Structure 1
């Protein structure tokens, strides 16, 4: 039986009557807020189904005037010209946008829409769509939101274009790139001040099943979330190399071919579930980062990273699957200069489970000639021969609870037969594939290889001796007490994340020390997280679940559950070094 909770939900106290489910209830609540002349603004994240709003909400409100704010958007060719530098010709990588949403709007068309509002007769005036608040601030402001993972599902199904483009037939990698590098950046900037003053948030995640909560209740719920442990909603995705372990352990769809990834703590793309009375609201967990960065991250982390969650926990399942792509991540200066990111994708592999004979590919073998390896990779890429990995790359046996550190510039991949908890910095798409074992993607297309990028960032000094000395199982005892011991397991000094493993059969007291903590229960069925001072309700975590302790929590305690068998449990904890 699987105990892994796939839909963790936080119950928000004190706002039971502040949320509504279904179009009828939502319409009635908004109608109650209208007067003789009311401008209702429904601003939207790109991906919200505007047709559903029109059919179920706007028609029921019977407004005197309706304006779709997208009428003022630049046309597709003008947008493409504006964004050409950011979109690039590459399938995967673009340059991060620093645009404001107003740059995507035709100034004269915006003036025309504003004049329509000014000249409208008394009654209800509704302005809706992405950018609606640019037309009018709203006497009543609703923000319609949905998580990025749901946006991706709508893109994959062919339902959704990129914003301002008719490109459903375009390669999914290119559409995701446009969303990642441009749309989501621009609209996060736009929605942050709106969420701080919105009268209502409209959850449009599920088709024909909307939910709405007052802005005051939402903001109180986010504040409450920063005072206790919580989990974001994990999501799972198949891949060409994916395995079967998660399918069995997490009770996933048995008809799926495999599951390669689980994004268990990637707040940019995960959801956060908040329950207000009987109504469950699903929002992007990024909304918490945008509105409560200091309480969540801590002063020092916020000062360094801004409103970005810098730690990522995810799973890579190759048990019953195949090797990951052989890859390298960019050095800091390279990611800054080429893509506009201000920090890079340092990472590590913590081995949750491993089959006999499993291995991790890490660093080059001592004596490797860089040009010889690059020539061999290019030859492999042309299909002339397989890459001679045994000649050039260290293949290191992997077993349960091993920890492999992977600072940027280190060639690496997990081999078949491993269940990896990947602990890393958050820029999670910056993987330069060097070789993909001659495979096609699940879409039947060749998977993109970026050897031209990769060759510029490989650190050739990370050879056999260096890797074993610095990157493999760097376990250092730190402290111990009755029923527990603490070990440092990394990460490398070039990485900003610190990790500690605690083995325990008795309660262990932790402290955030003013910075966000991210943990996973890597051994044992379940544990209880509570507050020694009673500041929050006890929180149950189960095997392999990732959970977040906001900086503002301060002291917390992790104890074995009464249902455990008496064997030691273990957590792995990560935080940003000071």
Structure 2
């Protein structure tokens, strides 16, 4: 474990190889979908057995895998077995780093620390075709292995192994200086590396449909986990017709709080705070499969590439493999205010960043204390030119801004919902536990004022005053804010079993929100949309699907019911105590503007 610590710069624990479900009402850090008995194998020996049986294999995989270590560990194992292995490494077929940097320059945003453009390149562009096609198996060798990113492009007629690693672990390895961007000679600073991941690497490194063995490499050596491609696809298929919950992960931040540390057992409490929980931020989440207690994790992308139509239903042609909804926690209990910020307009995010849709958010107040506030919308007398000048002066000279002179504040009560369509000035105040319900994009935040504070590394966080000014809707001001941006719930159904409320979102939001207060049970239909749920009060519910699957979900856990589930039942597991859930789903007939 000492080596693991050196190669991971984080206080968060490595996901265990084995885990058990938590008791009722206790948040589960490692949720998993069952795939049956004896489906997951562990250890480098198991991988070597599979390779030896086939004799000639292709091993492709994700950026962030420790390829050198994998080759070394397999090489040691085969030497112990007396087998001669001929290794072919795809990195020798890559174009040189300078050529790749020139190719990618238009996508990487120059010196901008945060933003680039989503690349339209394909993985094949990283390689010299002549070198990639020149790999030929050695007939004298006992075993031939073509290994590395892009190996499947070489066209070998051999079984394909895919080695995956979760996005959070990639970032922890990056922060420790052990991971660099695809084709680069050396690591950049963390901000630049992450930007390169987001706009380039994670775009081109798509999952492959013909995988015959999937390997989870986050725990190496004897803790490698693997499963057949057939079992993986069957698990994904069943998941896409029943339910799923991604594995969440957690990060501290400049304004972070203490609620999650106090309410979620099993987190490392040595961190000063926790600001975010990636509850359903699918680009950076994984899905765990369980067999005999083993927890094998794959990237969320696998589910969408396997069959996004099952998951999305009527909106599949709109979003395709982009899962559209995001849930995450913003914890400011005993912390600080979020930055005063906004998100880009739809045309702006498309033209500047090549994103298909923008970041339309809401704040659902899961919990609060000591009369907290949410900053939202402008004062009636806002003067845009003055606001812009004050922001720029604060950034240049380090001057405090009386932000309430320009931005309104609203009391934030438990179970309130605030609407934050793109272009709206906003910030959560301290002592809020916010469930952020949003469209899926998440890094496109234009911070305009950050209270003159430093990040956890003692440096100012980057501001984007001009980008923010270019996107703000200054007409969202005065009384209009309370009418249009503070949600006013409406009761749709009420009986002895449950109460259903509509929490109307803004006309700009492509998703809507319902809230259920369940006394005993409720039957729900997907109505052609995926549905994202969270238990926001009470201990736990049990979901039962028409295919006969059952799963408990506890307080503060997010789970998804795919459109293909059609009908299902939610049962309150603590009769006599009400349980409250919120549900987000795609509005009927939605299409991009």
TM-score bucket (shorter structure) = over 0.9
Return closer, same or farther for 1:64/1:237 CA change in 2, 3 Å cut-off. closer
Which whole-Å deviations, capped at 9, do the CAs of 1:128-173 have from their partners, x for residues lacking one? 00011122334121111112111111101111111222343x3311
Question: 1:410 aligns to what?
Answer: 424
Aligned equivalents of 2:30 and 2:548: distance in 1? Answer: 20
**Alignment partner of 1:50 is 2:72:** no
3-state SS of paired residue (1:382)? helix
Which whole-Å deviations, capped at 9, do the CAs of 1:194-215 have from their partners, x for residues lacking one? 2x21111111111322111111
3-state SS of paired residue (1:559)? strand
| Alpha-carbon offset, residue 52 of structure 1 | 1.9
Aligned equivalents of 1:49 and 1:138: distance in 2? Answer: 25
| Alpha-carbon offset, residue 557 of structure 1 | 1.4
| Alpha-carbon offset, residue 278 of structure 1 | 4.9
| Alpha-carbon offset, residue 536 of structure 1 | 2.6
Which whole-Å deviations, capped at 9, do the CAs of 1:288-326 have from their partners, x for residues lacking one? 12212111121x221101101100000000001000111
TM-score normalised per structure 1: 0.94
Question: 2:115 aligns to what?
Answer: 93
Superposition map of 1:60-459 within 5 A: 60-61=77-78, 62-89=83-110, 90-111=112-133, 113-114=134-135, 116-117=136-137, 120-121=139-140, 123-168=142-187, 170-188=188-206, 191=207, 194=208, 196-208=209-221, 209-251=223-265, 252-298=267-313, 300-459=314-473
**Alignment partner of 1:40 is 2:57:** yes
Question: 1:515 aligns to what?
Answer: 529
Aligned equivalents of 1:473 and 1:290: distance in 2? Answer: 35
Aligned equivalents of 1:264 and 1:384: distance in 2? Answer: 35
Which whole-Å deviations, capped at 9, do the CAs of 1:257-315 have from their partners, x for residues lacking one? 000000111222111110234543111122112212111121x2211011011000000
Contact 1:10 1:273 in 2 (8 A): yes
Aligned equivalents of 2:84 and 2:506: distance in 1? Answer: 60
Specify every segment of 5 or more residues in structure 1 that has no aligned partner in the other structure, as ranges. Answer: none
Which whole-Å deviations, capped at 9, do the CAs of 1:548-574 have from their partners, x for residues lacking one? 10111111111211x35x232211000
**Alignment partner of 1:19 is 2:40:** yes
Aligned equivalents of 1:355 and 1:280: distance in 2? Answer: 37
Of 408-417 and 134-143, deviating more is: 134-143
Count of residue pairs the alignment pairs up: 558
| Alpha-carbon offset, residue 384 of structure 1 | 4.3
Which of the residues 578, 584, 589 maps onto 1:574? 584
Aligned equivalents of 1:138 and 1:428: distance in 2? Answer: 40
Contact 1:383 1:438 in 2 (8 A): no
Contact 1:41 1:136 in 2 (8 A): no
Of 228-237 and 327-336, deviating more is: 228-237
Which whole-Å deviations, capped at 9, do the CAs of 1:434-466 have from their partners, x for residues lacking one? 111111111222201011111111000100211
Which whole-Å deviations, capped at 9, do the CAs of 1:50-100 have from their partners, x for residues lacking one? 122111124434444211011011111111000000001210001001111
Aligned equivalents of 1:166 and 1:245: distance in 2? Answer: 41
Aligned equivalents of 2:124 and 2:47: distance in 1? Answer: 29
Contact 2:75 2:85 in 1 (8 A): no
Aligned equivalents of 1:331 and 1:103: distance in 2? Answer: 31
Aligned equivalents of 1:27 and 1:66: distance in 2? Answer: 14
Contact 1:376 1:388 in 2 (8 A): no
Contact 1:73 1:106 in 2 (8 A): yes
TM-score normalised per structure 2: 0.91
**Alignment partner of 1:5 is 2:28:** yes
Contact 2:487 2:505 in 1 (8 A): no
Aligned equivalents of 1:489 and 1:167: distance in 2? Answer: 49
Contact 2:484 2:506 in 1 (8 A): yes
Aligned equivalents of 1:517 and 1:158: distance in 2? Answer: 39
3-state SS of paired residue (2:194)? helix
Aligned equivalents of 1:310 and 1:138: distance in 2? Answer: 36
